[in-house]
Amino acid sequence: MTASWDDSYTATGPRPWDIGRPQPAFGRLAEAGLLSGEVLDSGCGTGEQALLAAAHGAKVTGIDGAPTAIEQARRKSAERGLPARFEVGDVLDLGALGLEFDTIIDSGVFHVFSDSDRLRYVASLAAVLRPGGTCYLMCFSDRQPGEFGPRRVSQDELRAAFSDGWRVESIVADTFDVNPIEGNTRAAAWLATIRR
Ligand code: SAH
């Protein structure tokens, strides 16, 4: 984890992903009752997905490497009266938490990693997700044209990353809402449902 992620949260001007509300895709999962039990929001940023799950009754932990993001998430949690635990940590080493979860949320985190860090990340998720647990992962899709934003991910890459000890139940086309980047307010995404 480098300082640059924290810099992105202390910089003035909007971060494209930090939209101040949950992603609609995760809103639908929450409405369907799927963000339940002990939930980890991995790379939670300022906590919108975590607080969404908390509002639906989940016991939530949000982890992010950027202290400024965690501070903001804690503030939102207090302001909204939605209890959740937010801690600074490395999502490439989640086992260090010594915790286990029923459900993991990844909104826009898998797609930030290099090929080698992807392997570490998937092993890190496996270390904290209970057998039978589910990871809901949304990443930029290779169907999104242009160069702005993070690395594009293909369905094959997702399946390859989660090939060992996981079952990829579905990968469906969805969208990220983003603060305008190069005139775009939405970006093509894959929403993957992946079980251990
Ligand atoms: N899930 C949030 C943030 C997505 S942006 C949202 O939907 O708004 C990617 C996030 O991953 C950033 O907040 C960044 O700080 C975090 N991140 C990147 N690498 C990390 C690492 N190794 N450990 C913990 N957090 C990391």
Q: How far apart are CA 160 and CA 153, in angstroms?
A: 11
Residue of 5, 68, 179 to mutate, ligand 1, most atoms within 8 A of C-beta: 5
171's CB contacts (< 8 A; 6+ apart) are 155, 158, 159, 190, 191, 192, 193
- CA neighbours within 13 Å on the CB side: how many for 22? 21
Which tens digit of pLDDT belongs to each residue from 155-165?
999 999 999 99
Kindly state if the Cβ of 189 falls inside 6 Å of ligand 1: no
Q: How far apart are CA 98 and CA 159, in angstroms?
A: 27
Q: Read out DSSP for 124-169?
A: HHHHHEEEEEEEEEEEEBTT--SS-SS--B-HHHHHHHT-SS-EEE
Distance between Cα 64 and ligand 1 center (Å): 6
**pLDDT score at 73:** 98
Mean of pLDDT values over 77-95? 98
Least confident interval from 52-56, 117-121, 165-169, 180-184: 180-184
Model-level pTM? Answer: 0.98
Which tens digit of pLDDT belongs to each residue from 93-116?
999 999 999 999 999 999 999 999
| Per-residue pLDDT at 14 exceeds 90 | no
Q: Work out the mean pLDDT of the chain and round it to a whole number.
A: 96
**pLDDT score at 190:** 98
Mean of pLDDT values over 172-191? 95
Reported as a pLDDT band with limits 50, 70 and 90, residue 13 is: confident
Residue of 8, 88, 109, 118 to mutate, ligand 1, most atoms within 8 A of C-beta: 109
Distance between Cα 174 and ligand 1 center (Å): 20
Kindly state if the Cβ of 119 falls inside 6 Å of ligand 1: no
Mean of pLDDT values over 71-100? 98
CA 60 to chain centre: 13
Residues above pLDDT 90, as percent of the chain: 95
Distance between Cα 131 and ligand 1 center (Å): 24
**pLDDT score at 2:** 58
Q: What angle do CA 61, 151, 9 make, to 5 degrees?
A: 50
CA 81 to chain centre: 22
Q: What angle do CA 8, 12, 14 make, to 5 degrees?
A: 70
Domains of the chain: 32-182 (3.40.50.150)
Distance between Cα 35 and ligand 1 center (Å): 19
Which tens digit of pLDDT belongs to each residue from 123-156?
999 999 999 999 999 999 999 999 999 999 999 9
Q: What angle do CA 53, 186, 169 make, to 5 degrees?
A: 55
Of 41, 52, 38, whose CA–CA distance to 138 is shortest? 41
Distance between Cα 41 and ligand 1 center (Å): 10
Reported as a pLDDT band with limits 50, 70 and 90, residue 1 is: low
| Per-residue pLDDT at 71 exceeds 60 | yes
Kindly state if the Cβ of 137 falls inside 6 Å of ligand 1: no
**pLDDT score at 106:** 99
Kindly state if the Cβ of 1 falls inside 6 Å of ligand 1: yes
Q: How far apart are CA 7 and CA 177, in angstroms?
A: 22
